[in-house]
C-alpha cells in the first residue's frame, strides 16, 4: 500500500510517498515539476495520483523480480501501464495493439522470461512477423517498443543489458505514396459538391491537413479579417475497453504541426457559405441541434461532429461509386504535396506547409517526386561543363 501527499519545497509542489519495504515504513520525495502558485494545486493533485500509480507499478515489477522470474510478455504488459500516463492516448493504443496482438500470440506460446530473453529470441520473433507479409516498417515499430521497454528494465535493474541492441533491425522499405493529379483533384471536388464530407476533402486537398487536423478545425482558428487559418487543435478516435470515443486536444502531433497558413480565397468562400448554412440549421432544428460542437467546422446538419472513421469510409464509398482511383483520405495530403512539388515549390516550404517536424521526413516521403529539382540540377551541370561544342563527323 502506497500513500502520498503534496508538500511545498523551494516553491515547487512535491509528492511525498509513504510505503512499506522489508517491514519498515519509508518515504520518498518526488518533484511534480509544478510551481506552487495559485491555481496550480489541482494540477499538482492529478500529478500526485500519477506518480503514486507509476511508483506502485514499479514496485510491483521489482517485487516480482526479487521473488521469481517474470515472463517477458508479462513484463511488457506492466511496462505499458507504467508509461500510460506519460504518452498520448493514440500512442498508447498503438502500443497496446502491438503488445496484445501478435506479440502476445508469439511469446505466450514460447514462455520466455525477461531474464532469459536473448537477441536471437527477438530476431526469431521478427522472422515470425515477416511470415505474415508485414513490411519492414511495421516490424520496426515492434522493435522500437521492445527496445524501449528493455531499456526501462535495464534502468530499473531488472536485467543487466538490453539485448535488443544486438538485434539486426528489419530493412525499412521506401514509402511509396499514392496521390491524385491536378485534374483528378478538380474532378474529386466536383463530385464532393453536395456531400457531407465536402469541406473535409477541400481542406485536406488545399492544405494537406491530416484527418485529425481537419476534424479538429474550429471557427475560432479562422481569422477572416487577417485571412489566416491556424492549425492548433486535433480530434482523434480512441478505442478503450472495446468502446470508441472522440477526444479533442489543444495540441497537434508535433510542435511544427502547430502552424498558421494563409486563408485561401476559394476556401474562405466555402467556409462562409458553410457558416451561414450552420446558422440556418440551428434555426431549423432548434432544440434538436447539437450545441456541444458549436465551435467546430466539420459537423453534420444536426450539429454533431463528424467521426474521423466516418469521413474515411464515406470518402472511399464515394470514390467507388464514381469510378475514381481508390486512395485513402490521408493520400489527399500526399496529393497536396505532389502538386506543390510539380509547380516548383521547394521541399523546405512544403515541410512548413504540411507541418512536418523536420526536413528529413518531407524529403524521405517526397524527394523522389521532385523531378523539377532533378531537371534544374541537370541543366546546371550541363551548362557548366558544356564549355565547347563537340562536332561529330560522319
Are the CB atoms for 241 and 248 separated by under 8 Å? no
- Let me know whether 227 and 313 are in one domain: yes
Is the domain of 258 the same as that of 221? Answer: yes
Strand partners, 240: 243
Count up the domains in the chain and report the number: 3
Q: How many CB atoms lie within 10 A of CB 116?
A: 12
Residue 392 has a pLDDT of 46
pLDDT at 214: 96
User: Could you tell me if 341 and 360 lie in one domain?
Assistant: yes
DSSP, collapsed to helix, strand or coil, labels residue 218 as strand
Let me know whether 260 and 361 are in one domain.
yes
CB 17 within 8 A of CB 4: yes
Output the pLDDT for position 262.
94
One domain for residues 210 and 350: yes
- 316: domain CATH number is 1.10.443.10
> Is the whole-model pTM more than 0.85?
no
What is the pLDDT, as a whole number, of residue 280? 97
Tell me, what CATH number does 82's domain have?
1.10.150.130
Q: Which of 148, 173, 198 is the last residue of a domain?
A: 173
Whether 83 and 102 share a structural domain: yes
Q: Residue 267: inside a domain, yes or no?
A: yes
pLDDT for 251: 66
At residue 204, the pLDDT reads 96
Cα-Cα end-to-end distance for the chain: 96
- Are the CB atoms for 184 and 290 separated by under 8 Å? no
Q: Which of 270, 271, 302 is nearest to 285 (CA)?
A: 302
Residue 208 within a domain: yes
The closest of 338, 333, 304 to 214, measured between CA atoms, is 333
Q: Are strands 243-249 and 3-9 parallel, antiparallel or unpaired?
A: unpaired
Contact assessment for residue 372 and residue 342, using Cβ atoms and an 8 Å cutoff: yes
Interatomic CA distance for residues 268 and 6, integer angstroms: 50
Pairing type for strands 228-231 and 259-262 reads: antiparallel
Residue 380 lies in a domain: no
Query: How far is Cα 19 from Cα 27, in angstroms, rounded to an integer?
Result: 6
* The three three-digit cell numbers of residue 48, written as one number: 500526485
The answer on 245 and 369 residing in a single domain is yes
Residue 130 and residue 192 share a domain: no
The reply to whether 393 falls in a domain is: no
Closest listed residue to residue 32, CA positions, set 57, 53, 56, 7: 7
On whether both 121 and 210 belong to a single domain, the answer is no
| 229: in domain | yes
pLDDT score of 240: 63
387, part of any domain: no
What is the predicted pLDDT for the residue at 292? 94
Q: Which residue has the cell 516548383?
A: 344
Reading the chain (394 residues) residue by residue, the pLDDT tens digits are 577 788 888 888 888 877 666 666 667 788 888 988 888 888 888 888 888 877 776 665 555 444 457 899 999 999 998 888 788 777 888 899 899 999 999 999 999 999 999 999 999 999 999 999 888 888 999 999 999 999 999 988 888 899 999 998 877 666 667 889 999 999 999 999 999 999 999 999 999 999 999 999 999 999 999 999 999 999 988 766 667 788 887 765 566 678 999 999 999 999 999 999 999 999 999 999 999 999 999 999 999 999 999 999 999 999 999 999 999 999 999 999 988 888 888 889 989 899 988 887 777 777 766 666 556 555 655 565 655 544 544 4
Measure the CA angle with vertex 246, ends 241 and 249; round to 5°. Answer: 115
Note whether 115 and 30 are same-domain residues: no
In the numeric block, the cell 463528424 is attached to 306
The per-residue pLDDT for 12 is 86
Residue 218 shares a structural domain with residue 330: yes
Is 24 inside a domain boundary?
yes
Find the DSSP H helices in 68-131. Answer: 72-83, 89-98, 104-110, 119-130
Domain end residue (candidates: 118, 142, 173)? 173
> How far is 265 from 271, CA to CA, in rounded Å?
10
Range of the domain at 2: 1-49
Asked if residue 101 is part of any domain, the answer here is yes
Same structural domain, 77 and 169: yes
Amino acid at each position: 500500500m502506497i500513500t502520498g501527499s503534496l508538500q511545498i519545497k523551494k516553491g515547487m509542489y512535491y509528492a511525498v510517498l509513504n510505503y512499506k519495504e522489508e517491514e519498515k515504513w519509508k518515504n520518498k520525495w518526488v518533484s511534480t515539476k509544478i510551481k506552487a502558485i495559485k491555481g496550480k494545486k489541482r494540477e499538482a493533485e492529478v500529478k500526485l495520483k500519477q506518480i503514486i500509480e507509476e511508483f506502485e507499478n514499479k514496485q510491483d515489477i521489482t517485487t516480482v523480480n526479487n521473488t521469481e522470474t517474470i515472463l517477458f510478455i508479462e513484463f511488457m504488459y506492466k511496462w505499458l501501464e507504467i508509461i500510460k500516463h506519460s504518452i498520448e492516448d493514440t500512442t498508447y493504443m498503438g502500443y497496446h495493439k502491438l503488445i496484445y496482438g501478435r506479440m502476445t500470440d508469439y511469446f505466450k506460446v514460447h514462455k520466455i522470461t525477461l531474464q532469459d530473453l536473448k537477441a536471437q529470441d527477438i530476431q526469431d520473433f521478427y522472422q515470425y512477423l515477416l511470415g505474415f507479409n508485414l513490411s519492414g516498417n511495421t516490424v520496426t515499430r515492434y522493435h522500437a517498443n521492445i527496445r524501449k521497454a528493455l531499456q526501462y528494465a535495464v534502468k530499473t535493474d531488472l536485467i543487466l543489458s538490453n539485448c535488443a541492441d544486438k538485434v539486426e533491425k528489419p530493412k525499412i522499405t521506401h514509402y511509396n505514396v499514392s496521390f491524385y493529379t491536378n485534374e483528378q483533384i478538380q474532378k474529386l471536388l466536383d463530385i464532393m459538391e453536395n456531400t457531407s464530407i465536402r469541406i473535409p476533402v477541400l481542406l485536406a486537398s488545399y492544405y494537406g491537413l491530416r484527418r485529425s487536423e481537419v476534424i479538429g478545425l474550429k471557427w475560432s482558428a479562422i481569422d477572416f479579417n487577417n485571412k489566416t487559418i491556424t492549425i492548433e487543435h486535433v480530434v482523434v478516435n480512441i478505442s478503450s475497453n472495446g468502446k470508441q470515443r472522440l477526444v479533442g486536444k489543444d495540441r497537434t502531433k508535433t510542435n511544427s504541426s502547430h502552424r498558421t497558413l494563409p486563408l485561401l480565397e476559394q476556401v474562405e468562400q466555402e467556409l462562409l457559405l458553410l457558416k451561414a448554412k450552420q446558422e440556418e440549421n440551428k434555426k431549423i432544428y432548434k432544440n434538436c441541434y447539437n450545441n456541444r460542437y458549436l465551435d467546430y467546422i466539420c459537423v453534420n446538419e444536426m450539429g454533431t461532429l463528424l467521426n474521423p472513421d466516418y469521413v474515411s469510409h464515406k470518402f472511399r464509398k464515394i470514390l467507388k461509386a464514381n469510378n475514381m482511383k481508390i486512395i485513402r483520405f490521408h493520400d489527399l495530403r500526399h496529393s497536396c504535396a505532389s502538386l506543390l512539388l510539380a509547380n516548383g515549390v521547394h521541399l523546405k516550404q512544403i515541410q512548413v506547409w504540411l507541418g512536418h517536424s523536420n526536413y528529413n521526413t518531407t524529403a524521405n516521403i517526397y524527394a523522389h517526386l521532385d523531378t523539377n529539382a532533378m531537371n534544374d540540377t541537370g541543366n546546371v551541370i550541363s551548362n557548366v561543363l558544356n564549355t565547347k561544342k563537340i562536332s561529330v563527323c560522319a
